[in-house]
Every structure is written in structure tokens, then in C-alpha cells.
Structure 1
Amino acid sequence: MKNIKFYTGNIIVSLSFITGVFINISAFAADIFPAMTQTSLNEKMVIYSSLDVNFVGDIILEYQRLHQNVEVEYHDLQTFSIYEKIITESDENKKTADFVFSSAMDLQVKLANDGYAQAVNNAVLSDLPHYAQWRKMVFGLTNEPAVIIYNKEWFKDKKLPTTHEEFSQFLNQYSSEIYNKVATYNIERSGLGLFFIAQDQEFKRNIWSLVNRMGEAGVTLYSSSSAILQRVASGRFVIGYNILGSYAKTYAKAHPNLGIITPNDYTIIMSRIGLVPKYALKPRLGKSFLGFLASKQGQDLLKKQINMLSLSETRESSKYHHVRIGPGLVVYQDQLKRRKLISKWNKALNKN
């Protein structure tokens, strides 16, 4: 049984049908963007992405206006599922998706480092900052900060913490009032949470003192940001740490009681990485879409759709620290180093 959703403008139509006998019967979902013209020259581009189709639909439609004979099959997947699918399909079939777009910077770099990506020569991509590309294989296409979120009503008569040190002091000062009202990612279950705390360790030597104070405040841990955003906006929680800023800005538009802090001492900027797999069935299309996302039109659309910062905005302040794309990102794919980091985390939270 396949469940395929066809995307036509703002309407998604779901169709289910039974296929032939010789199929993998595990369920999968794809969003189909039909070509705008129907000719014998029509082609199909397959995309694996961790970005929800609701954010990327208009971007794909704009791309199709420039390439009207291209149908797009869009698979919205978890980051590790993308990583596994590329490896499995490449090793077994020598063919896989034409373009991959993922927020798991480390896994994307690992794919390239292990030989699962191909080089892309494109003038637009060459103009990306040096920290946003590696070996002409992986390209950072978004600028998304790690932020602190807070409940505006609770803070209406209190001073907001604007640095990591002030946040730590806040946790200490209001420890009894905010007990069980602080939230962050569970780094044992959230790759993004692990990534952000690893970056914190690079920028703030005493980050473990802050983590310890979160533990003393009875911090609640979640594997995704949605539950944290919902509970902070509603007042169930007072504050949330290291939340992806693009998600927070989107949520805050519909929930005005949610406030956002980009710390003034340093704010980590992560990038969703695009790459063209080595065994892409239609690499020309994958490269074309990659170039489109890196173009001014593509960047403007990404900024609008996912509420990311523009490159010019991140250049205006020294507080923004872009995570450099390169082999250093795969350090915590080493299980020993990963376990050591998680052990430090649990010890600081007084979980051990």
C-alpha cells in the first residue's frame, strides 16, 4: 500500500492504491508536485528532506516555474532515515535521490566524507561563505540560530537574561519559582540537542555550570522542539534553552506570548545542508535545484518560508557564530566521544 499526496498549489490530495506483488509493503509517503507542462521531455526529480513540505511547497513551485517540465517527488523524512536511505540505496542499487536537504549537519558531512556525495561546480554556490561549503560537495543553505525562548507573561515584570551567563544567574536566582518549568532537548534522543550542546562546549568553557543549574531547576527534557514551544507559550514552562530559532519564530507568529532571545555573548548558527548524492538518478536536476536554493531568489524564499536569518543579518553582529562545515562535525559520530559528552551532560544534570 502506498500513500502518495499530490501537491497542486495550496491543495494536497491524498490517494491510496494497491501496487503489484513485488514491492516492499512498508508504508511510505511522498508529496508529488506535477510538472507544469506535459510533454515527452518531462523529467522527475526525487528529493529527500527533513524540512516539512508545508515550508518548502512554495519554493518547489517557484523552481518549477523556471523548469516547467520537472515533476518533483518530495520525501519528508527524519534526518537519520535520510542518512540510512542514501547509504542503503547507493550500496544496493547504485541509484538514489537526486537532492538531499537535511538539518543534520554532521550526517550530511559524513555522507560526503564517506563517498556518498558528488562535487557540484556552480558559480552561485562558489559565492557562498567559506564556512558554508566543503569540497564542493556539501553546502549550507540556511542560517538558523539556537535561541532561548520564554513566556512573556511570566517575564513581564522581570529582567530578561540576554547572555548565557545571565541565563545561568537567572536559573540560580529563581530556582524555587521556576522548578519544573524549564525545558530543553534530550541530547540522548535529539541529534539537534546533542549538536547544540557540543557547540556550546566549544564557545563556553563553563557551559556545564549552566547545565548543572538547569538540573537544579528540574529541567524537563524533550526529543523535539514542538512540545517545548507549546508549553512555554502556554505558560506551563517559563523558559526553554537551545531551541532552533526558525521553529521558534514560526511558532511565535501564531502565539504572541512566546518570546525569543538570541544571546548577546554568542549565538550559534546552524545550517541545513544540501548535497547531490553520488548515485543520484538525475544528478543534473539535483544540481539545478541546489543552485536555485543558493541563488538570491532561493535564499529570499527560504528566509520567508522558514523564518531564517539572512546572511547579511548574521554578518552585522559579532555575536553570531556560524558552525563551520567540514570533517570536524563528525566528531560526535564516534560512539566513544558521544558517550563521553552524554556522560558529562547527565553528570551536570545530576542524573547519574
Structure 2
Amino acid sequence: MIGLLFVIFAALAPTVAAAQELTGSFGLPSADRTLTIRSTTDLAVMAPVIASYLTGRPDLRIDYEQWGSNDLYELTALDCRNEEAGADIVVSSAVHQMVRLVNDGCAATHRSDFTAALPAQLRWRDELWGISREPAVIVYNRERVPASEVPRSRFDLLDLLRPEDSPYRGRVATYDIETSGLGYLLAFADSLEASTFGGLMESFGRSGAVATCCSAEIIDAVIEGRYLLAYNVLGSYALARAEGEARLGIVAPADYTLILSRGAMIPNNGPARREAAAYLDYLLSPAGRKALEDALLLVRLDGEEGALLESPPDAQTIQRPIALTPALLVALDKHKRGLFRQRWRAAFPVTP
């Protein structure tokens, strides 16, 4: 296995697209075929999954590019408009952007037993598929937040932020919706789901909560105590970090927990469409699901065997999956997006 794998982690030089974050190459340099993946998923998280796929495939090399969600969307849309070959498969956590790309005719069709087995909410037009299962969670610092104050729901979080002398003033973080496509998606989903959304926005603004980027930075800041807790963080990244960090606590909100499934599409101009389809089928196969579960991209919640996150003993988390449907296009409507951003900026007037 080791002989078949080489990985290059590199911060890209300014001559390459500035928003591209990391690249990695897997497999033999002499491989006959190359599959190019562009994704928002951290390279370190996906490396074991890719390595498992390449076992027994010495004729294939995989080039992996890690991107921010907004920049990945813009690049993929540009490739589509210009009918240029770019990535062979695109995977993003900002699934509203993926729905837009499919709606704009940028995706190739693929059907297989594995895609057909997905529930309807995780596949659309045989061109977009949900490959993961990741809850949006609250993370907190176990050393700085007393057990009695750990927010188990959004109502608990509101109670923490309500007092004028709250120790949580200026010590709560969440994604900045203007720099994070995922952050925008989760906040928009909250606005549709939660009666608490308006109150949360008001409380965030009044208590000096911080809108910032990104998952790793937010989680690190909570562990270090710069923030006491953070809201709407992807549970997959939090669980991975918590494996070696006792200071990090994780809560799946009991009032409801948003469940994200990263969207995968095969661009219609990709040069290795067959290889892309085979890789997608692997991710949806039992072997691929096991690899994704080991990478903490398929998270089990309360009531499920092997659950990694549990609700309080007296509560059952209500799961709210974000379905891959045209309804997500509403999140990208220019007028609605403008109004939503104005409301957000009223709570977070300055981005650090």
C-alpha cells in the first residue's frame, strides 16, 4: 500500500488561483489514468478514503484540490460557461451552490445501483448526490464552560446570552455567511426551521458574538479558550478534532439538528467521466461508506448503533436533513440573499 501512495501537501504559490488551499496527489506517478477531484473537504480528512479506493488500482492517480466553497462554486461555474475541462468530480458542503450548478446544466448524468439506492432527498436528476451525513453542532470548551451551562438546545444558548453581564459576551463564534458558503447555507436553513432564529440573531448582535472563518480555526479557538463555544460547526470536523483533544465538547442540539450531506457532481466537461463515475459509486458502496464513516464523514446520532453524538437522556434529537432539491435555489435568489445578508450584518457589523 505504501508503495502505491504518494501525497504532496502544499500551500499554493500566488501564480496559481489564490483561493485554492491545498493539493495532494495519490497513486503512482506513472499511472495511465488521472482523476481530478475538487472539493471543500479537508485534504487530511479525505486522504484515507482516497487511499482505500486506490488499493488494487495501480493504473490510476488521483489529484485532489481543496477549495473554499464560494471559490469552488465560481470556478466550477466558470468552467461550465466556458465549456472548459476542469475537475472530473466536484464535492462541496455548500449544497445550495451545487444545486445551482446542476440547474444551470453543468453536470453529467450517471445512474447505477448505488445512486438508485440513495433516498430521494439525497439525489437530484441523476446529476447530484449526497455522499456524507454530518450534523451541525455546538462545540464548547469543557474546561471553561460549566457542565450546568452547556447549551443543549438553541433555547439554552439564548438563555446564556441574555444577561447583560453574561460571561459569554464576545466569546461565541459562528461561520461568517459572507465568506463561507456552508455558513450561509446553515444560517439560511436555520431561518426556515427555527422559531429561535430571530432571537438568536438579536442575541448574537447584542452579546458581541463573532462571525468568522473557518471550521478548523473556530474549533482551535474554542479549544484554546479564545471562544467559549461556537454555533453551527460541522460535527465531522469537531469529532475528528475531539479524538485527541479532551477540552472540546460537542452537542447535537436537541430542539433540532441540521444534517448536511455533501453534494457530489460530475461536471459535463470533465475529461475522466468514467473514472469519476467509478469513484462516486465507490463512495456510495458499502466499502466506501465504511471508509467515510472511519473518516467521520458519516456520523451516527442518538438511537443508532455506534452513535458518536447523543442527546441529553431526557430528549431525542429531531433531525432536519438538508435535502438536495430545487428548493435550495431560494437561498441564492439575489433579492432574498440581499435581505438575508442585511439582517445578518445587523447582528455582525464587523468581520474580524
TM above 0.5: yes
Alignment of 1:285-296 (within 5 A): 285-296=275-286
Structure 1 position 54 matched with structure 2 position 53:
no
Is the Cα–Cα contact under 8 Å of residues 138 and 253 in structure 2 kept in the other structure?
yes
Distance (whole Å) between structure 2 residues aligned to residue 314 and residue 234 of structure 1: 32
RMSD after superposition:
2.9
Q: Secondary structure at the match of 2:324?
A: coil
Amino acid at match of 2:213: S
Distance (whole Å) between structure 2 residues aligned to residue 25 and residue 168 of structure 1: 46
Relative to structure 1, is the Cα distance of residues 33 and 292 closer, same or farther in structure 2, using a 3 angstrom cutoff? same
Relative to structure 1, is the Cα distance of residues 348 and 30 closer, same or farther in structure 2, using a 3 angstrom cutoff? closer
Structure 1 position 190 matched with structure 2 position 180:
yes
Structure 1 position 32 matched with structure 2 position 22:
no
Amino acid at match of 1:31: G
The answer for the alignment partner of 1:163 in structure 2 is: 153
The answer for the alignment partner of 1:346 in structure 2 is: 345
Distance (whole Å) between structure 1 residues aligned to residue 8 and residue 260 of structure 2: 30
Structure 1 position 244 matched with structure 2 position 234:
yes
The answer for the alignment partner of 2:318 in structure 1 is: 319
Distance (whole Å) between structure 1 residues aligned to residue 170 and residue 109 of structure 2: 48
Give CA deviations for 1:207-248 in whole Å, capped at 9, x if unaligned.
111221122221122121223212211222211111111111
Structure 1 position 213 matched with structure 2 position 212:
no
Relative to structure 1, is the Cα distance of residues 108 and 175 closer, same or farther in structure 2, using a 3 angstrom cutoff? farther
Distance (whole Å) between structure 2 residues aligned to residue 247 and residue 265 of structure 1: 22
Distance (whole Å) between structure 1 residues aligned to residue 271 and residue 332 of structure 2: 28
Is the Cα–Cα contact under 8 Å of residues 185 and 222 in structure 1 kept in the other structure?
yes
* CA apart distance, 1:146: 0.9
Distance (whole Å) between structure 1 residues aligned to residue 191 and residue 116 of structure 2: 31
Distance (whole Å) between structure 2 residues aligned to residue 166 and residue 216 of structure 1: 16
The answer for the alignment partner of 2:259 in structure 1 is: 269
Amino acid at match of 2:27: P
Relative to structure 1, is the Cα distance of residues 304 and 170 closer, same or farther in structure 2, using a 3 angstrom cutoff? same
* CA apart distance, 1:92: 3.0
Relative to structure 1, is the Cα distance of residues 307 and 273 closer, same or farther in structure 2, using a 3 angstrom cutoff? closer
Amino acid at match of 1:172: R
* CA apart distance, 1:68: 2.8
Q: Secondary structure at the match of 2:246?
A: coil
* CA apart distance, 1:174: 7.3
Q: Secondary structure at the match of 1:289?
A: helix
Q: Secondary structure at the match of 1:67?
A: coil
The gaps in structure 1 that reach 5 residues or longer are: 1-6, 17-23
1:103 aligns with one of 93, 103, 115: 93
* CA apart distance, 1:31: 2.2
The answer for the alignment partner of 1:19 in structure 2 is: none
Distance (whole Å) between structure 2 residues aligned to residue 109 and residue 98 of structure 1: 17
Amino acid at match of 1:233: I
Is the Cα–Cα contact under 8 Å of residues 26 and 61 in structure 2 kept in the other structure?
yes
Alignment of 1:43-192 (within 5 A): 43-156=33-146, 158-173=148-163, 175-192=165-182
Q: Secondary structure at the match of 2:226?
A: coil
The gaps in structure 2 that reach 5 residues or longer are: 308-315
Distance (whole Å) between structure 2 residues aligned to residue 312 and residue 131 of structure 1: 21
Taking structure 1 as the reference length, the TM-score comes to 0.86
Q: Secondary structure at the match of 2:340?
A: helix
* Aligned-residue identity in percent: 28
Distance (whole Å) between structure 2 residues aligned to residue 107 and residue 193 of structure 1: 12
Q: Secondary structure at the match of 1:201?
A: helix
My pick for the range that moved more, 135-144 or 248-257, is 248-257
Give CA deviations for 1:22-51 in whole Å, capped at 9, x if unaligned.
xx9546764222349x67xx2111111122
Relative to structure 1, is the Cα distance of residues 63 and 273 closer, same or farther in structure 2, using a 3 angstrom cutoff? same
Q: Secondary structure at the match of 2:102?
A: helix
The answer for the alignment partner of 1:4 in structure 2 is: none
The answer for the alignment partner of 1:304 in structure 2 is: 294
My pick for the range that moved more, 265-274 or 212-221, is 212-221
The answer for the alignment partner of 1:331 in structure 2 is: 330
Distance (whole Å) between structure 1 residues aligned to residue 210 and residue 268 of structure 2: 41
Taking structure 2 as the reference length, the TM-score comes to 0.86
My pick for the range that moved more, 130-139 or 234-243, is 234-243
Relative to structure 1, is the Cα distance of residues 175 and 340 closer, same or farther in structure 2, using a 3 angstrom cutoff? farther
Relative to structure 1, is the Cα distance of residues 261 and 192 closer, same or farther in structure 2, using a 3 angstrom cutoff? same
1:284 aligns with one of 267, 274, 290: 274
